[in-house]
Structure 1
Amino acid sequence: MHEMSIAQSILAIVQEEMEKHPDATLKKVIVANGALAGIVSDALIFGWEAITMETPLQGSVLVVNEIPIKVSCGGCQKEFTPEDKLYMPCPDCGLEIGHKVLQGKELQIEGLEID
């Protein structure tokens, strides 16, 4: 389960940021998870809950925003959101391969909510 190591990396970044606000309490961490990133959101949330248990960050919530795939056709340059992440025929020209991924590969912290 590589989501645990990703949760630990997120934790390290969050702890570094929280050091800048010593009197603050972390309420929420918001993460963007692209459909092609290969991360199972529920496993990432579980990992976050496990590694923050019995720490000053216990009770904080990891919110994962799912980012859909968006591609640009390699033939006609039509931008579209495929229904399947393995089979992506262009709705205009029918080309199935050679598309440029515009979104959906990202995994990033979007923000923190602190009190």
Structure 2
Amino acid sequence: VLDRDAFKWRQQLGLEMSYVVYDGRWFTPIRASLQAAADSLATEVNGEVVLELYKGHVNAIQKKSDNSLYSEEFATFGEDEVYDHSHAEGFIRLYSLPSRIRALSKKK
């Protein structure tokens, strides 16, 4: 339901909220702002989760949502209208740029 960046941000919100609660800052603008951000991210969240409980551990073993971003139709490296394989080269070059710069600077 959440894309990678939204999920990562939601995880960070949870961590920050835990600090606010632990420090007794519930009735503060910071807590209200964190809550508003979490609520905003949750607008598309719905569905069902099946949990497995075993010896103090909890595992999500099945998830489904009407707003899932996963589609078996597009989860392929075959031909489709959504993903153009030629775009991968630019993506790889862009995301590897810091590593390439670091390697080049160490060669000097």
TM range (shorter): under 0.3
TM-score by length of 1: 0.26
**Structure with more relative contact order (C-alpha pairs < 8 Å, separation 6 or more):** 1
Query: When you count strand as a share of all residues, which structure comes out higher?
Result: 1
Instruction: Kindly name which structure, 1 or 2, has the bigger radius of gyration based on alpha carbons.
Output: 2
TM-score by length of 2: 0.27
